[in-house]
Amino acid sequence: MSEFSEIMITLAVQHLWQSAVLTILLFLTLKIYPCQSNEIRSWLWLSVFMLAVLMPLLIFLPVGGCRDVMQNFLPETFALIGTNLTVAGFHINFYVWGLAMWAMGTVFQTARLCRSAFYTRRIINATTALPEGLTVFASDRNYSIRCSSSISGPMVTGFFHQVILLPGDMVTRLSPDTIGQILYHEYAHIQRNDIRIMLVQKILSALYWWNPVLHLMMRCLNQSREMACDERAVLHTSNIRIYTRSLLSCAEHILVTRQPPLMVGIFHNRRNLTQRIERLKTMNIKMIEHSKTTSLLWSISLISITLVAGYTVTPRLALADQIPFAGEQGQNLFPVSKTAPVYPKQAVEQKLEGYVIVKFDILADGTTDNVTIQNSSDEIFNKPTIAAARSFVYKPQPGNKVVKNVLHKIVYELGYADRH
């Protein structure tokens, strides 16, 4: 496996287990503290989402001179058993195919996002002004309210300039008071910068499209985001019943249809609507009258604790220029010729895997001498490792110099594609 493949697989593994742990921890936290408002919940889910996406990158952080942690990026040789799968004469490398599928999926998701951006721009360009004489919710704002025949429900879109879109037939059928209540919800999306956050969210999720845990996070985030806007709308109206009736009137009109990916609409699906109505029935205005400081403190606490824990448990992948102990002269040396080590029969029978770090000198002619074991996961691998290291041939050093104390890692693994 190439170095790049190892990096990507390590990223994928770290992302998968870290996202699962973060999701479970947040579910448990919200179970223990169920009275948190959806404003706080939405920022917590966003924090967890960003942590799940960015925490795997901790593997690239430097680790100083810790040799045990950095050993994974020493020059390596692999001793592999049972690694080839041949179908109709073709060798299948599952790692390569997996990475290729990952890349193709990311390209596909990115292409869908770009297509959605063009579709959204077309909708905005085709909008019309509100009917004359219609008085709707107004505030000190830097956004527009427009009508569109291409949407079924109220939505917010626009990255730099926020636009609230209303279906043309809804404007004529629903009362101005009902429309005003709905606009409070859409205005809350603008206050929270939801459309901009959602765009970043979709770009990052395209990189990890294969992770079901991340999709669960996004669903919880979207749901808490809508309920948070409901809470803000209720605070504006100070009357939960009036807002709930307006929400139901809007739902009856549009029958909850699918929204474009780069728009934040008032409805996602019927189940989401049911949950929001049930939440409104039990909502306490005093519970949601919280400050932004509370949400900020919860998010900062979550991020800080998680980053400290993640920094502690995440393995590091040291880059080549961070390995001064690879040789006496700080060089990274790779043999031009070598014999692959023999996988010990006893280790195969016991299904043992491991590694050995061997130390030797490179003579002027490129051959090795003074081969010794520096570190070993199991003594069963020592003998074949020494034999393999003695077979290494390096490029002759300039000036007939002898390079001393070269470290080389030999990994013994079962069931992977051939990497000799």
pLDDT at 244 over 70: yes
Q: Please report, rounded to a whole number, the percentage of residues in the chain having pLDDT higher than 90.
A: 13
Whether 149 is covered by a domain: the verdict is: yes
Whether 384 is covered by a domain: the verdict is: yes
> b or e along 142-167 (b: 16 or more beta carbons within 10 Å of the residue's beta carbon)?
eeebbbbeebbbbbbbbeeebbbbbb
Domain with 368, as residue range(s), is: 70-92+323-420
Residue 78 sits in a domain whose CATH number is: 3.30.2420.10
According to the model, what pLDDT value does residue 59 have?
A: 78
Domain co-membership, 339 together with 395: yes
Domain co-membership, 215 together with 364: no
pLDDT at 352 over 90: no
| Rounded Cα–Cα distance for residues 193 and 43 (Å) | 12
Mean pLDDT comparison of 241-250, 286-295, 347-356, 397-406, highest-scoring range: 347-356
Strands, E assignment, 236-294: 264-265
Domain co-membership, 124 together with 173: yes
Instruction: Choose the final residue of a domain: 264, 286, 308.
Output: 286
Query: What mean pLDDT do residues 309-327 have?
Result: 51
pLDDT at 44 over 80: yes
Domain co-membership, 127 together with 262: yes
Whether 54 is covered by a domain: the verdict is: no
Instruction: Choose the final residue of a domain: 260, 286, 312.
Output: 286
Domain co-membership, 266 together with 385: no
pLDDT at 219 over 80: yes
Half-sphere exposure of 226 (CA within 13 A, CB side): 25
Whether 300 is covered by a domain: the verdict is: no
| pTM greater than 0.85 | no
By the 10 Å C-beta count (0-12 exposed, 13-18 middle, 19+ buried), 184 is classed as buried
pLDDT at 194 over 60: yes
Whether 78 is covered by a domain: the verdict is: yes
pLDDT at 83 over 50: no
Whether 11 is covered by a domain: the verdict is: no
Mean pLDDT of the chain: 76
Count of domains for the chain: 2
According to the model, what pLDDT value does residue 32 have?
A: 86
Phi, psi of 100 (to 5 degrees): -65, -40
According to the model, what pLDDT value does residue 124 have?
A: 87
Domain co-membership, 402 together with 265: no
| Rounded Cα–Cα distance for residues 128 and 134 (Å) | 14
According to the model, what pLDDT value does residue 302 have?
A: 74
Query: What mean pLDDT do residues 31-40 have?
Result: 82
pLDDT at 257 over 60: no
| Rounded Cα–Cα distance for residues 91 and 107 (Å) | 26
Helices 38-54 and 212-237, interaxial angle, to 10°?
Answer: 150
| Rounded Cα–Cα distance for residues 144 and 141 (Å) | 8
Which of 2-11, 145-154, 338-347, 377-386 has the least mean pLDDT?
2-11
Domain co-membership, 163 together with 266: yes
Helix (H, G, I), strand (E, B) or coil at 375: strand
Query: What mean pLDDT do residues 240-255 have?
Result: 72
According to the model, what pLDDT value does residue 351 have?
A: 82
Those residues whose C-beta lies under 8 Å from the C-beta of residue 54, and which sit 6 or more positions away, are none
Phi, psi of 206 (to 5 degrees): -65, -25
| Tens-digit pLDDT profile for residues 160-193 | 888 888 887 777 777 778 788 888 888 888 888 8
DSSP code of 2? Answer: -
Tokens representing residue 313 in the block: 């448990």
Which of 34-38, 99-103, 125-129 has the least mean pLDDT?
34-38
Helix (H, G, I), strand (E, B) or coil at 323: coil
Closest C-alpha among 260, 190, 273, 259 to residue 227: 273
Q: H or E element: which one contains 370?
A: strand 368-376
Closest C-alpha among 382, 328, 386, 392 to residue 354: 382
Instruction: Choose the final residue of a domain: 240, 265, 286.
Output: 286
Domain co-membership, 265 together with 396: no
Whether 410 is covered by a domain: the verdict is: yes
Query: What mean pLDDT do residues 361-383 have?
Result: 89
According to the model, what pLDDT value does residue 27 have?
A: 92
Helices 240-254 and 176-191, interaxial angle, to 10°?
Answer: 100
Which of 170-179, 210-219, 388-397 has the least mean pLDDT?
170-179
According to the model, what pLDDT value does residue 85 have?
A: 41
Distances (CA, A) of 174 to 122, 168, 189, 326: 26, 11, 21, 74
pLDDT at 326 over 60: no
What is the band of 328 on the pLDDT scale with cuts at 50, 70, 90?
very low
Q: Give the CA dihedral 384, 389, 393, 399, nearest 10 degrees.
A: -170
Helices 292-313 and 3-32, interaxial angle, to 10°?
Answer: 140
Helix (H, G, I), strand (E, B) or coil at 174: coil
> b or e along 303-327 (b: 16 or more beta carbons within 10 Å of the residue's beta carbon)?
beebeeebeeebebbbeeeebeebb
Query: What mean pLDDT do residues 242-259 have?
Result: 67
Query: What mean pLDDT do residues 48-72 have?
Result: 66
Domain co-membership, 132 together with 278: yes
For every residue of 51-89, DSSP letters joined together read HHHHGGGGGGS--TT-HHHHGGGS-EEEEEES---EETT
Phi, psi of 323 (to 5 degrees): -120, 75
Helices 3-32 and 38-54, interaxial angle, to 10°?
Answer: 160
250 with 137: CB under 8 angstroms?
no
Domain co-membership, 83 together with 164: no
According to the model, what pLDDT value does residue 109 have?
A: 92
Domain co-membership, 77 together with 167: no
Domain co-membership, 199 together with 346: no
According to the model, what pLDDT value does residue 108 have?
A: 94
| Tens-digit pLDDT profile for residues 278-302 | 777 666 666 565 555 666 676 777 7
Whether 64 is covered by a domain: the verdict is: no
